[in-house]
Amino acid sequence: MKYKSCHLIEHGISINVDSIQACCLSREFDKGMLPITDKYENSSINWDELFEIKKRHRKHQKIQDLKFCEGCYNLREEDWDEEDYISFINFDHWSHCNSNCIYCGVQKNKPRQKNNVLNSIKELIQQGKFKNTGEITFQGGEPTILKEFEDLLKLFIKAGSKVRIHSSGIKFSRAIREGIKKGAVTVVISPDAADCKTYKAIKRVDKFNNVWANIKHYRRWLPKETAPLVKVKYIIIPGINDSFEDITNFLNKIKKLDIKSIVTDVEYTYANQNINNISPHIYMLMDYMENFAKENQISYELYDSAKYAEQNRHIEKTLKDHLNSEYIEKIRKLNQDKNINYSNF
Ligand code: SF4
């Protein structure tokens, strides 16, 4: 049956420290995230109960958008299947990190690693309720220092899944290196700076050289065709790393290390508070990065806040164009009524 939904309402979960949600999307308006259960305790996920809740979400979505999902760019009308399985999993169930980013939304006062989810995930796979058609993401906390990280990663690589890992890049991981060599893993590292001083101001740790050395090290293992599996991210933070010089230095570094994929985002709190009033300067920086990527055959991707900002710019432009064309049409009509011949202009 055709109805409006998204791949995460249908087959996704985001496992947090004390709850499970359908997704982890940071929305531009404060609607929270679509909850599945807040009774996630003792490291055990009740899959039967979870699929029942997903069925209810699906049923609701057939009638009208769930309130958490209204206006989301992921919603689309499609002939969704009705099967119970999970194919998108986001791991967010710990908060321990080796960086201390000023924009980090992870509550560091929450338990560092309350739950081990490995057994539950094994159970899901054994029950035949996991399909490798989606994507597995590690958000965190820092995955490379999560105790069960390597076991989880091996499990998903064995299951033939695509895995995306967000890492601070401070610790080099052999498991990630093996994953990218096999073409199963994408690693996203966000240094947000091309100089030590700016890096330290953002990350509040002194690891600038480690991070860029590890980016170089991961990239070294990849042939040209799979080079985009190492993604380097730049979160634009107004007033901190948002000069043209900052961005130019970053892009020069990207070129020098032969990085083939960049990701841009806009700092979440700024974007959230200014979604209808994003500075033209920020848009210029985004365009600058996009053009650089195009010219240098580098893949270019936007993350959530930047996606919303871009969506908003598009809406504003469409509205302006529409108003302009209406206005021009009105003037034309007025002048025509006055018998002004336009061919004379
Ligand atoms: S908020 Fe968006 S991405 Fe998340 S479940 Fe709803 S529609 Fe999907």
DSSP string for residues in 265-305: EE-HHHHHHTTTS--HHHHHHHHHHHHHHHHTT-EEEE-HH
Residue owning the nearest CA to atom 3 of ligand 1: 74
What is the pTM assigned to this prediction? 0.85
pLDDT of residue 345: 36
What's the 16 CA to ligand 1 centre distance in angstroms? 16
CA 275–ligand 1 middle distance (angstroms): 18
Q: Give the ligand 1 atom nearest the CA of 23.
A: 4
**CB of 75 shorter than 6 A to ligand 1:** yes
**Residuewise pLDDT in 10s, the chain (345 residues):** 899 999 999 999 999 887 888 888 765 545 667 778 776 665 688 999 999 999 999 999 999 888 888 888 889 999 999 899 999 999 988 888 999 999 987 756 555 556 688 999 999 999 999 999 999 999 878 999 998 999 999 999 999 999 999 999 999 999 999 999 999 999 999 999 999 999 999 999 999 999 999 999 999 988 888 999 999 999 999 999 999 999 999 999 999 999 999 999 999 999 989 988 899 999 999 999 999 999 999 999 999 889 888 888 877 777 667 777 777 677 667 766 655 544 433
What pLDDT was estimated at residue 152?
95
Domain boundaries, the chain: 2-344
Is the C-beta atom of 13 inside 6 A of ligand 1? no
Q: List strand residue ranges (DSSP E) for the chain, in order.
A: 2-5, 12-16, 20-21, 35-37, 76-79, 88-92, 135-138, 162-167, 185-189, 230-236, 261-266, 299-302
Residue 342 is predicted with a pLDDT of: 43
Regarding the beta carbon of 6 and ligand 1, being less than 6 Å apart is answered yes
Q: What is the CATH number of domain 2-344?
A: 3.20.20.70
According to the model, what pLDDT value does residue 23 have? 87
Q: Is 104 in the pocket of ligand 1 (CB under 6 A)?
A: no
What does the pLDDT read at residue 343? 41
Closest atom of ligand 1 relative to the 25 alpha carbon: 4
Determine the atom of ligand 1 nearest the C-alpha atom of 5.
Answer: 7
Residue 221 CA, ligand 1 centroid: distance in Å: 35
3-state DSSP helix/strand/coil % of the chain, to nearest 5: 45, 15, 40
CA nearest ligand 1 atom 4, residue:
23
Determine the distance separating the centroid of ligand 1 and the alpha carbon of 335, expressed in angstroms.
49
Any atom of ligand 1 within 6 Å of the Cβ of 106: no
Distance 23 CA to ligand 1 centre (A): 6
Residue 336 sits at φ, ψ, to 5 deg, of -65, -40
Residues 6+ apart with CB under 8 A from 5: 58, 61, 75, 76, 78, 80
Single out the residue of 196, 175, 202 nearest to residue 187, CA to CA: 175
